[in-house]
Structure 1
Amino acid sequence: MLVVEDLTKTFGANIAVDAVSFTVEKPMMIGVIGRSGAGKSTFLRMMNRLTDATSGRLAFEGRDVLGLTGRSRRDWQSDCAMIFQQFNLVPRMDVVSNVLHGTLGRRSTLATMFNLFPRDDIHRAIDILERLGIAGHGPKRAEALSGGQQQRVAIARALMQDPKIILADEPIASLDPMNAQTVMEALRRIHEEDGRMVIANLHTLDTARRYCDRVIGMRDGRIVFDGTPDQLTTGAARDIYGAGADFSEAATSTSIDAIETPAARALHEAEAIV
């Protein structure tokens, strides 16, 4: 389905993405991990054509993605939906209208100017919100929702595009553990139930292991790991993050069970003494 060959992006003398190559033969949920500055976000932006590649090849189902221009490029951006860390919603607009903005790529300029949406699209937007468990918030302004709820609105907006690929750039980086779990479970269900490919940039190893079929590790713009979650050992993680022997996965965990309150910690310490 997806072929990436020697994909490279340079900014002057700096190489942000360095000859990245991999293939994906069927819809999967793929986690891309690595420290900040590893090139993860730049890679996703090249896939979505928000940033032009310097060199290389990117093909999806035989379509030369990097060679697309004009309408063909916009059609690809509809097929390859993007979810951002900061949600990118219109804060003062109601939730349903934010979701309906996922159809802007196929609507006329006049309809966009006057915010005119077909009834079928409105019903579909509400159905998607229902699927994500937030239909009750449809009439509210987006700014009135919690961070986790806003990210689910952003996912709903992406689904309105009916994409073949969903790219998620650090979708849980600004969320608490409970909301992070809800968002990742939603992305996983979308992959499994719809058969859509999902590629998500992630910071945490436990999240990648729990939700992804395949994990790609990036360091200094290059792929240094490509394997299954079971193959993502602590040693492999040290290589990806360029960390020493004191590297602790617990410090990057988003697991609710890994969060220990001061009171709980004091109790555990007291139990250890007894």
Structure 2
Amino acid sequence: MLRIENLTKSFGPNVAVDAANVAVDKPAMIGIIGRSGAGKSTLLRMLNCLTDATSGRIVFEGQQISALKGADKRRWQSECAMIFQQFNLVPRLDVVSNVLHGTLNKRSTLATMFNLFPQEDIHRAIDILDRLGIAEHGPKRAEALSGGQQQRVAIARALMQDPKIILADEPIASLDPMNAQLVMQSLRAIHEEDGRMVVANLHTLDTARRYCDRVIGMRDGRIVFDGTPEQLTTGVARDIYGADDSFSEAATSTEIQTLDRPKTAQVVA
């Protein structure tokens, strides 16, 4: 389904991603972990064609994504939705309008300028917000919402694109533990219920283990681990992060409930 082959990105003498190879045979929820500067965000940006690769290939369902230009590139970006840590919403616009911006690639310039959307799209946006437990906030300005609510609005905007892949770049890095769980539950439910591939850069090991089917570890631009959450031991984590025996996962935990809670969970309204 997705193949990343010897993918490399250099910025002058600095190599951000170094000959990355990944093969994904079916939709999965994949977590990418590693220290800041390990190359996680650059890898996601190349998948979405926001950054061009220096060398190597990205192939999705037989199409070479890394070679796309112009309209074909924009079409791919509508099929490969991106969620950012900073939400990237329009603060003074209402929530429903922000969600509807997920359809801009399919709208005419005139409709975009005057914020005109078909009634069916408006109803669909509200349905998606309802699914994520925030439909009651639809008329509010985005800036009036909490960080966790804004991130769920960003997820709703991504779903409006009806994408084949959702990429999430540190989606919970700026959230408190409760909102972090709500966002991760939402992404997990989207994967399970819709059968969509979700790839998320994460900064906590317990989150990767709890919500992901597969975990990829990056260090200095290279993939140094690719396995199941069960294989992500503390020793493996030390190697990924280049840490010594003093490394403690507890310092980065987002867990706020008992450790025996099931791995998968449904969206909490």
Q: What TM-score does the superposition give when structure 1 sets the normalisation length?
A: 0.94
Indicate whether 1:174 and 2:174 are aligned. yes
Q: Which has the higher helix share?
A: 1
1:51 partner letter: T
Shift of 1:57: 0.6
Aligned-pair Cα RMSD in Å: 0.6
Provide the secondary structure at the position in 1 that maps to 2:162.
coil
Aligned to 1:266: none
1:108 partner letter: S
Runs of 4 or more above 4 Å deviation: none
2:175 partner letter: L
Provide the secondary structure at the position in 1 that maps to 2:96.
helix
Aligned to 1:250: 250
Aligned to 1:158: 158
For structure 1, the residue ranges without an aligned partner over 5 or more in a row are 259-274
Measure the CA separation in 2 of the matches of 1:257 and 1:125: 32
Aligned to 1:91: 91
1:176 partner letter: D
Measure the CA separation in 1 of the matches of 2:107 and 2:71: 13
2:58 partner letter: L
Measure the CA separation in 2 of the matches of 1:162 and 1:257: 33
Aligned to 1:118: 118
Aligned to 2:203: 203
Measure the CA separation in 2 of the matches of 1:79 and 1:92: 27
Aligned to 1:270: none
Deviations, residues 245-266 of structure 1 (Å, cap 9, x unaligned): 00000001011148xxxxxxxx
Indicate whether 1:144 and 2:144 are aligned. yes
What are the residue-to-residue correspondences of 1:31-42 with 2, within 5 Å?
31-42=31-42
2:238 partner letter: R
Measure the CA separation in 1 of the matches of 2:21 and 2:130: 38
For structure 2, the residue ranges without an aligned partner over 5 or more in a row are 259-269
Shift of 1:235: 0.2
Measure the CA separation in 2 of the matches of 1:160 and 1:137: 17
Shift of 1:118: 0.3
Measure the CA separation in 2 of the matches of 1:125 and 1:218: 36
Provide the secondary structure at the position in 1 that maps to 2:30.
strand
Aligned to 2:265: none
Query: Could you say which structure has the larger radius of gyration?
Result: 1
Aligned to 2:12: 12
Seq. identity, %: 81
Aligned to 1:269: none
